[in-house]
Structure 1
Amino acid sequence: MVTLSLPRRITHVLLDLDGTLTDSAPGIIASLRTGFTDAGFDVPSDEVLRTFVGPPLGASLTRMGLSAADAATTIAAYRRDFEAYGMFDNSVFGGVPEALAGLRETGVRLLVATAKPERYARQIVAHFGLDGYLTGGLDGVHGAADYEAGEAQGKEVVVERAVAHAVALGADAGQIVMVGDREHDVHAAAHHGVPTVGVTWGYAAPGELEAAGAAAIATTPEELRKLLTS
């Protein structure tokens, strides 16, 4: 593992959504419980379900031993509940809007890069008014394509699209930083040569972000703002 350093000047920031901008665990976990039940499978403990928040859902289901077909069935059941109930059982972390506003005021351009399906991510960002902080509004939200045949789109693909968008906006590839709360954020960004600032108010286990190779750790949104603008 190679830890990438933060650039001396940061012009574009890719923001994870779940666990970084919003506390989405309550709705996701409740809908996962329903999804497993409706699909006819035993419901994992809440401790296990919490590890599902952030990474691609298909990858998490495969990791726990479900076949591609069973994962697809579970995802479909989860989505029915999530669209009806879970999506907005969610809240913006305290201090995040102020940090985003502060970054925008210094000229930093903000985009979202999330493993959540893009159609959900855009609804959530709009619901909480976070699109006003993003360059291009909802066009600045990059998420996963819908799952087909039980296969999950990795976050590396989403980060690749977000990096391409940032470059199209004028970013130098060496001035882009990812911000996320889980190891898959760090790994996906590093795959494209982008360093990550890990945030501790999300869903990572103790030491997870450091072990993954995060370039820096922020414990509050204000600390994040300072790290990205210093």
Structure 2
Amino acid sequence: MTLPYTAVLYDLDGTIADSAPAITASLAFTIEQLGLPVPPQAEMLAWVGPPLPQSFEVRLGLSGDRLVEAMRVYRAHYLAHGALDSPIFPGVRELMAAVHAAGLPTSTATSKPETPATRILETHDLLQYLDLVTGASDDEVRNTKADVVAEALRRLGERGVDLSRPVLIGDRHHDVEGAAVHGVPTIMAGWGYGDEAEHVGAVAVAATPADVAVLLGVPLRGAA
């Protein structure tokens, strides 16, 4: 049977891992250290997913040395206190296992830098279901979703992967927009952080990881 897609890219925050509480806690700490008023929790949820330097620039007006300092404080706090405290969404492990068992090549395509992304995946024993971990560079020079998707496709291509029909699993509008730059469709993770308005442009919206498995044409273990 021919599967509808030839390679799968996974977003991380809001798709694989419920990382919002840890991210927003580190954001609150960082903003407080900068001497700025800390936004309400609901407002900070909008920061989860997009590239963080971009959020500091757009939402707080930071630039230059001030932006560099904000990122330094955030990274140190997040790596020390939050990176490994992000639970995996229910059903995602089973989805990733099913995709791997079906022989579909996989990579992450996350705006999170690769070091904390790898630590999270390793802590939850999910690296076994991935061929590659691709994310923002640790210096965040590569940080837009379009750039990360391009890098994931490049690395998979170097391995000889068929990239005629790749797909991204993500939860925010920047996932849809970044993947579209490269002609990659996005299946929206309805359990993630994006609201309905952010689903515009997605090829499909999946309420659960099991629904994603159906869209990918891969059987879940124990499913009929």
TM-score normalized with structure 1 length: 0.88
In the alignment, structure 2 segments of 5+ residues that lack a partner are 219-224
User: Which of 187, 199, 208 is the aligned partner of 2:189?
Assistant: 199
| Residue in structure 2 matched with residue 12 of structure 1 by the alignment | 7
Q: What is residue 145 of structure 2 aligned with on the other side?
A: 155
Contact 2:187-2:202 within 8 A present in 1 as well: yes
Q: Match for residue 114 of structure 2? A: 118
Check whether the contact 1:14–1:178 (CA below 8 A) recurs between aligned residues. Answer: yes
**Aligned pairs (5 A) from 1:64-103:** 64-69=59-64, 70-103=66-99
Q: How many residues align?
A: 216
Cα distance in 1 for residues equivalent to 2:77 and 2:159? 37
CA RMSD across the alignment: 1.7
Determine whether 1:168 maps to 2:158.
yes
CA deviation profile, 1:52-105 (whole Å, cap 9, x unmatched): 111100111111142313332222211121111111221001111111111122
Structure 2 residue 177 is the aligned partner of structure 1 residue 181: no
1:146 aligns with 2:138: yes
Superimposed CA distance per residue, residues 123-166 of structure 1 (whole angstroms, 9 cap, x where no aligned partner): 1111111101012xxxx101111347xx6721211110101122
* Separation of aligned partners in 1, 2:143 and 2:90: 30
The aligned amino acid for 2:55 is S
SS at match of 2:193: coil
* Distance in 2 (alpha carbons) for counterparts of 1:90 and 1:8: 31
Do structure 1's residue 229 and structure 2's residue 221 form an aligned pair? Answer: no
Deviations 1:172-224, CA, capped at 9 Å, x for gaps: 33211111010111111110111111111111022311x2x111111100000
Secondary structure of the 1:177 match is strand
Runs of 4+ in 1 over 4 A off after TM superposition: none
* Counterpart for residue 38 of structure 1: 33
Q: TM-score, normalised by structure 2?
A: 0.91
Q: What is the rounded CA distance, in whole Å, between the counterparts of 1:16 and 1:65 in structure 2?
A: 25
Q: Show structure 1 runs of 5+ residues with no match.
A: 1-6
With over 3 angstroms needed to count, the CA separation of the structure-2 counterparts of 1:154 and 1:162, relative to structure 1, is same
Q: How does 1:207-218 map to 2 (within 5 A)?
A: 207-209=197-199, 211=200, 213-218=201-206
| Contact 2:3/2:216, CA 8 A, preserved across alignment | no
Given that 2:167 and 2:184 are in contact with CA atoms closer than 8 Å, whether structure 1 keeps it comes out as yes
The equivalent residue for 2:221 is none
Corresponding residue SS for 1:22: coil
The whole-number CA distance in structure 1 between the counterparts of 2:142 and 2:163 is 27
SS of residue matched to 1:111: strand
Amino acid at match of 2:153: V
Instruction: Determine if contact 2:6/2:164 at 8 Å carries over to the other structure.
Output: no
Distance (Å, rounded) in 2 between the aligned partners of 1:169 and 1:147: 25
Deviation at 1:8, TM superposition (A): 6.5
CA contact (8 A) 1:142 1:161 kept: yes
Residue identity opposite 1:225 in structure 2: A
Identity of aligned residues (%): 38
Letter in 1 for 2:138: D
Letter of the structure 1 residue corresponding to residue 45 of structure 2 = R
- Comparing 48-57 with 67-76, greater Cα deviation is found at 67-76
1: CA distance, partners of 2:30 / 2:129: 33
